[in-house]
């Protein structure tokens, strides 16, 4: 089964990412299910392909993109990123303010 989703909101959890995809509802992807992360320059979004055939599109303008970028870079092996996708995500992650001291 191939599903195509456009994320409108997300929440990072330890083993993956929960997300909202209207009108279908909610979805979840485990970090180890991510096969490739690509970047679509003309459309300004990331395209995540999963091992079960899902295609998840994430606009680079999504609120909280910096957190998602950090999570993807920290939890998905470098070899699963297309070069440009990794570069653009790294740029987003670097704009994220440091966490406050605990």
Q: In Å, how far from its chain's centre is CA 66?
A: 10
Q: Is residue 100 part of a domain?
A: no
Q: Is residue 79 part of a domain?
A: yes
- 66-89 mean pLDDT: 95
With beta carbons less than 8 A apart as the criterion, state whether 48 and 92 touch. no
CATH number, domain at 48?
2.30.29
Tell me: the pLDDT tens digits for 39-72?
999 988 999 999 999 998 888 888 888 999 999 9
Angle, nearest 10°, between helix axes 65-75 and 83-94? 130
> Total domain count for the chain?
1
Closest to 33 in 3D by CA, of 60, 11, 55, 12: 55
Range of the domain at 35: 4-94
Distance CA 28, CA 14 (A): 12
Q: Is residue 53 part of a domain?
A: yes
Confidence check: pLDDT of 3 > 60: no
Q: Is residue 101 part of a domain?
A: no
Q: Is the pTM of this model over 0.85?
A: no
pLDDT bin (cut points 50, 70, 90) of residue 96 is: low
Q: Is residue 71 part of a domain?
A: yes
- 78-87 mean pLDDT: 96
Q: Is 45 helix (H, G, I), strand (E, B) or coil?
A: strand
Tell me: the pLDDT tens digits for 6-37?
667 889 999 999 988 777 678 899 999 999 99
Sheet holding 45-50, edge to edge: 4-6, 55-59, 45-50, 34-40
User: Residue 59: its pLDDT value, please?
Assistant: 86
With beta carbons less than 8 A apart as the criterion, state whether 20 and 8 touch. yes
Q: Is residue 32 part of a domain?
A: yes
């Amino acid at each position: 089964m191939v599903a195509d989703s456009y994320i409108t909101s997300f929440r990072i959890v330890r083993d993956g990412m929960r997300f909202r995809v209207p009108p279908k509802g909610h979805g979840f992807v485990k970090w180890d299910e991510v096969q490739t992360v690509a970047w679509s320059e003309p459309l300004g979004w990331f395209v995540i392909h999963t091992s079960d055939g899902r295609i998840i599109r994430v606009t680079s303008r999504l609120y909280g993109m910096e957190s998602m970028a950090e999570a993807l870079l920290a939890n998905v092996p470098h070899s699963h990123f297309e070069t440009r996708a990794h570069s653009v995500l790294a740029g987003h992650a670097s704009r994220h303010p440091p966490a406050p001291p605990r």
